Amino acid sequence: MSLLTPLGGLPYPQATDTANVPLHMQSLAEAVDGRTVLRFADAATRDAKVTAPVAGMLAWLTSPGRLFHHTGTQWHPVVPGPVHKANSTTGNTASATYVETLAASTGDPTAVTFTAPPSGSVLVQLGARISSNGAASGLMSANIRTGTTLTLAAADTRAAIVSGTNQSSASTQFQVSGLAAGAVCTATAAYKSSTTANTATFVYRFLTVTPLT
């Protein structure tokens, strides 16, 4: 009967075992197989091959080109980094409720997709050059969704705000907590004018989501 190494639990034969080099090498190879960095084309290929992952497994996915580890409940990027989207086009709205698409703009909606970290918390940062054609204010916030479900709606308390006709740069940041670890989420920029009597204009918009540990 093979013995196991004290740290990795890898099998090796005893002197009294029947000599069978191929069998002993196969046992060792199978034990090591799940402990190396596995390589797959994408998550679907990984999940089809690794049907019973365990905590500590590592897998490299060619798409999206990231290293993942298994926490015991789900696969998660080893080093989750910020995701960022910028839109330099000019757009405007006279809506007094938040909208995700601006008139006269291209590239909307401005959104980023991210995987919720084990902490379930992320930092959202956003901003733009904002102005109005009157005394009103232009506000930029963000909607947070888990899948297609709205998790946190855009709000004035989480908005970059500029008042008046002079174009000014404004930004804000806020923390989103309580996200399901491993869930695929989306942050989408949302805009409004403080009154329908005036049009708010937005240019050089950006949106960044940073996972928090």
Cα–Cα distance list, 46 to 29, 62, 114 (Å): 19, 11, 19
Q: Which amino acid is at 188?
A: T
In the predicted model, what is the mean pLDDT of residues 82-107?
Answer: 96
What CATH class is the domain 83-211? mainly beta
Letter string b/e over residues 59-74, b meaning 16 or more CB atoms within 10 A of that residue's CB: bebeeeeeebbbeeee
> How do strand 66-70 and strand 149-152 relate by DSSP bridges?
unpaired
Q: What is the pTM of this model?
A: 0.71
209 in Cβ contact with 124 (< 8 Å): yes
**Is the pLDDT confidence value at 23 over 90?**
no
For every residue of 31-93, which 3-state class applies, written as one string? HHHCCCEEEECCHHHHHHHCCCCCCCCEEEECCCCEEEEECCCCEEECCCCCEEEEECCCEEE
**Is the pLDDT confidence value at 27 over 80?**
no
Q: How confident is the model at residue 176 (pLDDT cuts 50, 70, 90)?
A: very high
Element (H, E) at 129: strand 122-132
Q: How confident is the model at residue 164 (pLDDT cuts 50, 70, 90)?
A: very high
75 vs 64 pLDDT, higher one: 75
Residues 34-54: tens digit of each pLDDT: 678 889 999 999 999 999 998
Report the distance separating Cα 53 and Cα 61, nearest Å: 15
Closest-CA residue to 91 (of 192, 7, 2, 11): 192
87 vs 12 pLDDT, higher one: 87
Backbone dihedral region for residue 201 (phi beyond 0: left; psi -120 to 50: alpha; all else: beta): beta
**Is the pLDDT confidence value at 86 over 90?**
yes
Listed by start position, the domains of the chain span 3-77, 83-211
